[in-house]
Amino acid sequence: MNKKTVSQMGGQDHLDRQNTNKKLEQLDAHRRDATEQALTTNQGVKIADNQNSLKAGTRGSTLLEDFILREKITHFDHERIPERIVHARGVAAHGFFEAYPGNEKWTKAGFLTDSSIQTPIFVRFSTVQGPRGSADTVRDIRGFAIKFYTEEGNFDLVGNNAPVFFIQDGIKFPDFVHAVKPEPDTEIPTGASAHDTFWDFVSLVPESAHAVMWAMSDRAIPRNLRSIQGFGVHTFRLINAKGEAVFVKFHWTPKQGLAQLVWDEAQKLAGKDPDFHRRDLYEAIENGFYPEWELGVQIVPEQDEMKYDFDLLDPTKIIPEELVPVTPIGKFVLNRNVDNFFAETEQVAFCPGHIVPGIDFTNDPLLQARLFSYTDTQLSRLGGPNFHQIPINKAVCPFHNNQRDALHQHHVHKGQAAYQPNSIDGNWPVETPPAASQGGFESYQERIDGRKIRERSPSFSDHFSQARLYYQSLAAHEQKHVVDAYVFELGKVERLHIREREVQEVLANIDIDLARQVAEQLGIALKADAKAQSQAIDKTSAKLSMQAFVPEDIKARKIAVLVHDGANAAQVKAIQDWAKSEQAVAEVLTPTPAPVKDSKGKDIASDGMQKGEPSIAYDAVVIVDGDNLDAVKKDGVAKHYLLETYKHLKPIVFLGDKAELIDLLGLEDDAGLFKADDFKKIADDFKESIRKHRIWAREPAAEVIPA
């Protein structure tokens, strides 16, 4: 039988795809709902514009009278009971925030201006797409929400580990989530975006291009939750005691540096340890490795609002740090795990509308919808309007008003006057003037002058230049991972026309080289005149690459020490002592959970067995020397352990006679492979290699290693 040429195979694959698409189209005819019908409200009113909420002018605030937005969002908010619709799988911890001195020139918020106090906080991390039972390490944006229990009331900073979102207007949020969630006919896939409906939506909605690029990057598969950045996404206002306002974007940057998984690790962890991220956070805090972030803001004076070639109110845009640097305003530390997952992590209710004097909103149309949506969601999820009385949600400062009764009312109110003004109870509780000395909340008095209209501001119309900026700013290995991610995700898309549209109409408008690489691997032909819209813009922004955030130390990093019978106990002790001095964790892994005998016949205690504690859970590996080389050569588990560690680009130390394993396993020598008779001789170089997280130069060689 003659072998097919590559071109023949590609042509056959194309025909197979066409036949598959025809079959899918035939099946779709029986599955479609409301085909060729007008889009209407639940009351049957035909909708003229389903893309934009009703605003006071193109850049004005969203209007409460928008019954289409309210109906759509209300229905969406109540679609799941009682699990969160998005961000269902989460993990949380308690901590504290401390402000740096000097913030009073921007804000009058007490917790940001009084550097002598520690403000209690509660932080919840989460994935977006998957349900509570999904895995931690799926490719997804991570939620990063902080509740500050301030003396002036609760402030919730509800953000993500990406600084941009997939849509510009909140009226599109239900559509986006419906598209990214498991498909409604099969409830597949769980916790993943590699499917038809997600890519159908984003390929038709070019405003999503920037956020999709972040989701295809290494940011979407973090090594752990202690090593992710956080962003407030929206532009907010800070207001000082004089009533002066500035625009701000919130950033929180980990002192632990940024770290990512490689894709093979992420997939294996999803099967071997779906709780990997939550376990890591819990263990780090229990062991005293308290994660810490610095809170910063990008500050834009009001007069500079229209200064840039993007709109500050557009949640799909960043402000490059070369234009506006991040100003540190404080830090926070997580130092206590929850006592009860349900009572705290599951019942915590965040809302962007929970603000305090000195902080205010802007007219970002996505933020405006979120101000309504979050509170509305809690009414179903937490059983009514008294969710603020649940201990994890309760303000630490006193609160008094005339709201009464309703489901789950815990407070026994007294008196007759449940209204205001009143004369029966001395008119209490009463308003507080907004003067700085008294602290009543007052909304910023922004002038709004515009027609009621469903329309995007023209300043929101550039969807590709910042996606290109992000891609161009990544290191070479990060760019390769983006290409690989698009190929993997689009390779799971069954409908050929969706694949082609994403490559030809989105990627080709971001970066033509990116589009060509993805197209080539998917067997898609780019259009003859394909040229990126922003091809002429060759800008970079240094802080967009994860390489810009390398930690100063290896605190809390985990090292697997592979030990067999006959091991050199002195070397094991030297490794453990060194790790302790660096505040790292060195765990002795043995063939079985039982202790092994050292070269003198004494026991070496086991922290776990090699088969049960896989290399994907560690940052580096040391295999100890001793009178056991032949036994190790016959140990398939140990050899696989080393191959997998090499494949995942991690540092490995081969002590003494174990250096023979390098050639035996076919490993290529590089900056992350260490050979020594004495661990102390290479300890400093080993530490530096761990600090840098991966040996990216190894990647081409590692890809051919079967592990």
21 is catalytic: no
Residue 386 domain flag: yes
| Of 707 and 91, more confident | 91
Contacts of 392 (CB under 8 A, 6+ apart): 122, 343, 344, 347, 348
State which of 494, 516, 547 marks the end of a domain: 547
- Retrieve residue 525's tokens: 């032909």
Residues 219 and 112 in one domain: yes
Residue 299 domain flag: yes
Supply the pLDDT for residue 25.
59
Domain containing residue 574: CATH number: 3.40.50.880
Choosing from 52, 103, 154, 160, the catalytic residue is: 160
Residue 42 domain flag: no
Residue among 145, 170, 194, 128 at smallest CA distance from 490: 194
Residue 3 domain flag: no
Residue-wise pLDDT for 466-491, tens only, equals 999 999 999 999 999 999 999 999 99
Residues 408 and 376 in one domain: no
- Average pLDDT over all residues of the chain: 91
Residues 614 and 486 in one domain: no
Domain containing residue 536: CATH number: 1.20.1370.20
87 is catalytic: yes
Say how far apart CA 221 and CA 225 lie, in whole Å. Answer: 10
Residue 78 domain flag: yes
Residues 495 and 596 in one domain: no
Residue-wise pLDDT for 440-476, tens only, equals 888 888 888 889 999 999 999 999 999 999 999 999 9
From the CA atom positions of the chain, what is the Rg in Å?
28
Choosing from 52, 87, 363, 628, the catalytic residue is: 87
State which of 494, 520, 547 marks the end of a domain: 547
Residues 70 and 187 in one domain: yes
Residue among 249, 166, 151, 165 at smallest CA distance from 208: 166
Residue-wise pLDDT for 10-39, tens only, equals 455 555 556 656 655 555 555 566 667 777
Say how far apart CA 573 and CA 604 lie, in whole Å. Answer: 10
Residues 684 and 624 in one domain: yes
Residues 114 and 244 in one domain: yes
Q: Is the pLDDT of residue 681 over 60?
A: yes
Residues 600 and 483 in one domain: no
State which of 524, 547, 570 marks the end of a domain: 547
Residue 21 domain flag: no
Supply the pLDDT for residue 8.
40
> pLDDT band for position 113 (50/70/90)?
very high
pTM recorded for the entire structure:
0.90
Residue 40 domain flag: no
Do the bridges between strand 608-609 and strand 585-590 make them parallel or antiparallel, or are there none, so unpaired? parallel
CA 366 to chain CA centroid, Å, is 18
Residue among 675, 670, 681, 678 at smallest CA distance from 647: 670
The values of phi and psi at residue 285, to 5°, are -70, -40
Residue 2 domain flag: no
Residues 386 and 407 in one domain: no
Its domain, for residue 424, covers: 402-432
Residues 530 and 615 in one domain: no
Residues 271 and 372 in one domain: yes
Instruction: Please tell me the total count of domains within the chain.
Output: 4
Residues 525 and 388 in one domain: no
Residue-wise pLDDT for 594-650, tens only, equals 999 999 999 999 999 999 999 999 999 999 999 999 999 999 999 999 999 999 999
Q: Of the ranges 288-302, 335-349, 520-534, which one carries the lowest mean pLDDT score?
A: 520-534
